[in-house]
Amino acid sequence: MNIFETARQTISNNGRISIDEAMALFESEDLLALGQLAAGINEQKNGNRVYFNINRHINPTNICVNRCAFCAFSRTPGEPGAYTLTLDEICRRAKAAEAEGATEVHIVGGLHPQLAFDFYCEMLQAIRTSAPTLHIKAFTAVEIDYFSRISGQKVEQVLQQLINAGLGSMPGGGAEILVEDVRRKICPEKISGQRWLEIIRTAHKTGLKTNATMLYGHVETVQDRLQHMQMLRDLQDETGGFQAFIPLAFQPENSDLKLGTRGTSGLDDLKTLAISRIFLDNFDHIKAYWVMLGEKIAQVALAFGVNDLDGTVVDEKIGHDAGAQSPKAMSMEGLIRLIEKADKIPVERDTLYRPLREAVKV
Ligand code: V47
Ligand code: SF4
């Protein structure tokens, strides 16, 4: 039996793909067979529907005490390009997003050495007052850990105050590769992989849904990627709190990781997305984040097990500061066109994956 037959048999017997099997799938050169396997699993779960949302990214500050080697977004205080938005400006952007039909604001930023935890609670309250219909998806586990340290409060208390101020869910950033050897090389100052998992576990137990990301295409091996996925699969078994898995293709410009690379290949992107659909059998949604992948690979990914294209985004900074070639925003019509041309049914969703509009024709 070849690896695809073995994998099919395992799956039809309700078994789980092991790291060794996933590795063999990754090493296979039969890209189309891999795509077919992943697409079949996705179809069982999600049929022919592909989700997107209308959202807006706001990054309150790029000043960060961590300075991860892969990050071209962060600055030290006083460095050219360092900024911190005022609450008024943040609210103005949220209001504008709401007026343009957005249902979500996605808020992540640097670990600012001077801003107090109260600033972030006030920020959520102010957004809730000025744009009450928006779902606020904000703060990675890395920021939550930082808030706990600067406020001297337990993670549970920090999360509860943020929820009281308007937090609706959390994005999946900061996970990078959860394996410590890799973190030592790419983000030595960041919280450990175990701490990331612990904070997400606490968030899930508090009732918050989160996503999970994986930054790939730098110094990590395929084995590291699979171990990362294994840790996520185990936590999902325990809590069920993850909504989507989002592989983030590393953008190499302007970062301290001098890898002499132009980023990931299309082949690697598609294999990584397909393997995540096959391996993460307890995740409903696999997201192709068009900002890092480019629109064309994100579209082709819909035949490789993906069922979500993220959103309109509007003002993306993290990937574009690192040289992403994709547009900084996508219109709803653009997203719908990408999905329809891939012969799928576009479904506008809210942050919690409740369908809002289906098969909208442009
Ligand atoms: O944690 C930083 C990554 C993340 C680079 O949950 C980079 O819906 C590529 O997490 N090349 C933040 N990636 C973005 C993020 C995210 C994005 C969209 C949707 C969701 C969601 C989450 O961006 C960071 C880091 O892993 N990142 N620098 C870079 N040069
Ligand atoms: Fe700071 Fe996040 Fe950039 Fe790391 S990835 S330097 S924690 S903003």
Q: What is the DSSP string of 26-94?
A: HH-S-HHHHHHHHHHHHHHHHTTEEEEE-EEEE--B-B-SS--TT-SS-B-TTSTT--B--HHHHHHHH
- Two structure tokens written together for 60: 């309150």
Would you say the CB of residue 68 lies under 6 angstroms from ligand 2? Answer: yes
What value does the mean pLDDT take over residues 75-104?
A: 96
What value does the mean pLDDT take over residues 102-116?
A: 98
Residue 259: pLDDT over 80: no
CA separation for the pair 41, 20 (Å, rounded): 19
173-211 tens-digit pLDDT: 999 999 999 999 999 999 999 999 999 999 999 999 999
The ligand 1 atom nearest the CA atom of 255: 30
Residue 260: pLDDT over 90: no
The ligand 1 atom nearest the CA atom of 321: 30
CA separation for the pair 154, 224 (Å, rounded): 31
In sign, the C-alpha dihedral spanning 165, 115, 89, 331 is negative
Unique residue bearing structure tokens 């041309």: 341
Would you say the CB of residue 82 lies under 6 angstroms from ligand 2? Answer: no
Strands 345-349 and 355-358: antiparallel
How distant is the alpha carbon of residue 135 from its chain centre?
16
CA separation for the pair 118, 6 (Å, rounded): 54
Q: How far is the CA of 40 from the centre of ligand 2 (A)?
A: 36
Counting ligands in written order, the one closest to the CA of 308 is 1
Q: What is the DSSP letter of 300?
A: H
What pLDDT is recorded for position 1? 82
Give Cα separations from 51 to 42, 48, 154, 336, 358 (angstroms). 13, 10, 35, 10, 9
In sign, the C-alpha dihedral spanning 39, 40, 44, 49 is positive
Q: Which of 61, 73, 189 to mutate to test the pocket of ligand 2 (most atoms within 8 A of CB)?
A: 73
How distant is the alpha carbon of residue 265 from its chain centre?
19
- Tell me the backbone φ, ψ of residue 135, rounded to 5 degrees: -80, 130
Q: How many CA atoms lie within 13 A of 184 on its CB side?
A: 3
What value does the mean pLDDT take over residues 93-105?
A: 97
Give the pocket of ligand 1 (CB within 6 Å). Answer: 70-72, 108, 140, 171-174, 176, 211, 213, 215, 246, 248, 250-251, 255, 289, 292, 310, 318-319, 322
Residue 362: pLDDT over 60: no
Which one is predicted more confidently, 251 or 359? 251
302-317 tens-digit pLDDT: 999 999 999 999 989 9
Give Cα separations from 128 to 86, 96, 159, 350 (angstroms). 16, 13, 16, 17
Mean pLDDT of the chain: 95
Angle between helices 155-165 and 117-130 (to 10 degrees): 20
What pLDDT is recorded for position 359? 62
What pLDDT is recorded for position 345? 97
Q: How far is the CA of 245 from the centre of ligand 1 (A)?
A: 12
Contact yes or no for 191/174 (Cβ under 8 A): yes
What pLDDT is recorded for position 215? 98
What pLDDT is recorded for position 192? 98
Residue 88: pLDDT over 70: yes
DSSP sequence for 159-213: HHHHHHHTEEEB--TT-S---HHHHHHH-TTSPPHHHHHHHHHHHHHTT--EEEE
Give Cα separations from 91 to 22, 73, 129, 135 (angstroms). 45, 22, 9, 14
